[in-house]
Structure 1
Amino acid sequence: MENELLQLTVIAAIIAPITAALVQGIKTASGISDKLNIVVSLLVGIALAGLWSLTFGHIDQIGPYLMAGVLSGLSASGLYDLTKQKEETK
């Protein structure tokens, strides 16, 4: 169990910067509002984790992988919020 949890945490950590970059690109291209940023980052994180699961043949573990995608999306949206707050305080 510990090994699987560690593996999913590592996957979420790997996908999070990719998710943040994709969400920033989507936000720039489409001009979505800050309120939709969290939803978009969750959807992108889930999609990336699902693709990761399918690519490496772990279709039987799709549920935990999608949960790693949720973690990735939440951390990507949190990273955006933290950087925005730091810029406003300058």
Structure 2
Amino acid sequence: FQRAMGLYVDGAIGNKMIAELNVPLEKRIQQLLVNMERMRWMPPENDSNYIVVNIPEYKMHVYDSGRLAFDMNVIVGSAINSTVIFNGNLKYVVFSP
């Protein structure tokens, strides 16, 4: 549960975990609807080599020949400087700028 909610996985029931457990069902349903709409606008995966950044998870997943090659932590934006959501071809990637 902690991993799925983006919390530090320590097995302890802390304040953040309690807050996630107490999120109302209506809010979870709204989150699902918003994310389903986002997925609707994503193009179909025609290429077997691609990168997906899961912003709420703070993770980048790299797929090679349709299989997960590796994943890594990433830094994403904030409420003020939000992360841009896009789909396109990458020419290069900068690690640890």
TM-score, normalised with respect to structure 2 = 0.27
Greater RCO (Cα-Cα under 8 Å, separation 6 or more): 1
| Higher percent of residues as helix | 1
TM-score, normalised with respect to structure 1 = 0.29
| Structure showing greater Rg | 2
